[in-house]
Amino acid sequence: MNKQLLTSLCLASTFAFGANFKMKNGDTGLAYKIDMDAKEMTVLASTAYDPKTDESQSSFNLKWTDKTLFQRKVEGIDMTTIAPGRVALFYLDAPNHKLAEEGKPFKCARIEFHIQPQKPGWSPTGIGLRAPFFPTGKNTFEIEIDGKRIKGSGTGIEFFPMDVADIKPRIDALRLWVNNVGDDQILTLVEVTQKEDERKDDDLSLPSVLVVGDSISMNYNNAAKALMKGKFNYHRIPANGGPSTRGLACLAMWLGDYANPASKWDVVVLNHGLHDLLQDYNLETKAFGNTHRIEPADYAANIRRELTFLSKTGMKLVWVMTTPVPNDGHAYGNWGRHKDEELKYNEAVKPVLAEFPQVVVCDLNAVVRNSPVFDEWRKGNNVHFKPGPEQDTLAKAVTDAIIEAYKK
């Protein structure tokens, strides 16, 4: 496994907190305890890990002062609501940076409207520009540089002042900037993206399940939720679970304050694989390299660490075998997926699963390989599944495993 990746990504451990980990500027997380009197919050963030000591941490205590700026981030705003002449921050890729310099119409990834006054000028990094903004439509505008007006387009993000008391613990997403003062970390800026509580409509008389998985779990999500109605409060993580290294980094954050009876999980479904088995891929020659994103042995070690942590929580567990790669194909970027490559990863994880006999195994790989429902799917190279019989079949297998685990 990549040593640098291991240094920053690994599983949170409730039994290893010896190393002196610190949050870094721009790190993200969830507040799950806020002490207004002490002006201190506990944040669950992506896990810091020290491979030399095998110590890790995902919980960080941060303090704030009267000078700390709390701001609410709102994306996709209607930019006609912005006062003409307000200085905005424009994020530009290299081609559009060049167009803007030449006074030609450009597009930008995002436009930010900050609380603090901004001074016009080019960013020293060469990717940003601060300039007076003049809206012409919801996503169109002109900017003023050296007395000239230049047309542009993009998506607007505006920041508004907010009070720390309005942060919803375990729900709102936080991006944090800190100063290190001795052993303390003092918040200087907290950027809050306010979210809806996905569990607000849960039936407290029912058990709750959390699905930690990649886009395949997104495929069967709606069908599984329908099958679980009246039986379980069914939820999945608010993101793609990605490779096992992402699970190591984010599992504690995804689980949240699970020791709290109001936010506990009775069953957790875990799956990684389709992102781990990605291989170097040449788009021109369609040839595969020998390097995987995560090699099978490292994958197995990652899953062992995740299951070790989960086993200590008291939650019932389901492991989902990685679904097939039907045929060779390009995935994204310089990555591809090789036909049947998932078999290596499913074999690598079997000895690990034998160490955790309490885990219920849902073999979606066998379901897909043995059912005629997937005959048409097998002709292509898309690892994803369509709504209807394909997703319904996966959902039935997963929900049956959830019920089995809960009763175990």
pLDDT tens digit sequence for 232-258? 999 999 889 999 999 988 898 899 888
Query: Any idea what DSSP says for residue 221?
Result: H
pLDDT attached to residue 337: 97
Q: Output 241 or 109, whichever has higher pLDDT.
A: 241
| Residue 404 predicted with pLDDT over 50 | yes
- Residue 221: both structure tokens together: 């999500």
Give residues with Cβ within 8 angstroms of 139, minimum separation 6.
79, 153, 154, 155, 156
CATH of 208-407, one of 3.90.440.10, 3.90.180.10, 3.40.50.300, 3.40.50.1110: 3.40.50.1110
| pLDDT higher than threshold 50 for residue 334 | yes
Q: Give the pLDDT confidence score for residue 47 in this predicted structure.
A: 80
Tokens 């936010």 -> residue:
263
Return the pLDDT at 109: 84
**CB within 8 Å of 394: residues ≥ 6 apart:** 216, 219, 220, 223, 224, 323, 364, 367, 368, 385
pLDDT above 60 for 17: no
Between 325 and 146, where is the model more confident?
325
> Strands 208-212 and 233-236, how do they pair?
parallel
Alpha helix stretches (DSSP H) within 256-316: 296-311
Rounded to an integer, what distance in angstroms lies between the CA atom of residue 366 and that of residue 330? 24
Q: Which of 20-34, 67-81, 289-303 has the lowest mean pLDDT?
A: 20-34
Dump the DSSP string for 113-144: E-SS----EE-TTSSEEEEEEEESSSSEEEEE
> What global pTM score does this model have?
0.77
In this structure, what token pair is assigned to residue 334? Answer: 């310089």
In this prediction, residue 203 carries a pLDDT of: 93
Q: What is the mean pLDDT of the chain?
A: 90
Give whole-number Cα distances, 50 to 10, 57, 121, 195, 248, in Å.
9, 9, 41, 32, 13
Reported as a single tens digit per residue, the pLDDT across 140-182 is: 999 998 889 999 999 999 999 999 999 998 889 999 999 999 9
**What is the CATH topology of the domain spanning 3-72+161-193?**
OB fold (Dihydrolipoamide Acetyltransferase, E2P) (2.40.50)
Strand ranges in 182-334 using DSSP code E only, listed in sequence order: 184-193, 208-212, 233-236, 267-270, 279-281, 288-292, 316-320, 329-332
Q: What is the arithmetic mean of pLDDT over 302-310? A: 94
- Paired strand residues for 151: 142
What is the rounded CA–CA span in Å between residue 289 and residue 311? Answer: 36
Look at residues 331, 344, 315, 335 and name the one whose alpha carbon lies nearest to residue 251: 315
pLDDT for the residue 126 = 58
Alpha helices in 35-181, H assignment, sequence order: 94-101
∠ at Cα 214 (212, 220), nearest 5°?
A: 85
pLDDT at 1: 30
Neighbour count for residue 377 (Cβ, 10 Å):
18
For the chain, give percent helix, strand, coil, nearest 5: 25, 35, 40
Whole-number pLDDT of residue 151: 96
Residue type, 202: D
How far is the C-alpha of 238 from the C-alpha of 242, rounded, in Å? 12
What was the pLDDT predicted at 54?
Answer: 65
Q: CA 295, CA 119: separation in Å to the nearest integer?
A: 48
Q: What pLDDT is attached to residue 152?
A: 95
Q: Which residue spans of the chain are classified as CATH 2.40.50.320?
A: 3-72+161-193
pLDDT of residue 5: 30
Whether 189 contacts 364, CB under 8 Å: no
Q: Please determine, for residue 16, whether its predicted confidence score (pLDDT) is greater than 70.
A: no
Taken in order 297, 302, 305, 311, the sign of the CA dihedral is: negative
The pLDDT, as a whole number, for residue 20 is: 67
Q: Give which of 259, 249, 245 is closest to 299, Cα–Cα.
A: 245
Residue 403 pLDDT grade (very low, low, confident, very high; cuts 50, 70, 90): very high
Q: Decide if pLDDT at 50 tops 90.
A: no
Q: What is the predicted pLDDT for the residue at 51? A: 66
Residue with more model confidence, 112 or 9:
112
Q: What is the DSSP letter of 167?
A: -
The boundaries of every CATH 3.40.50.1110 domain in the chain are 208-407
Single-letter amino acid code for the residue at 67: K
> Residue 94 pLDDT more than 90?
no
Which tops the pLDDT comparison, 25 or 16?
A: 25
Handedness of CA 45, 196, 270, 281 (dihedral sign): negative
**Collapsing DSSP states into helix, strand and coil, what is residue 14?**
coil
**Residue 125: predicted pLDDT:** 59
Tokens of 24: 């870094």
pLDDT for res 153: 95
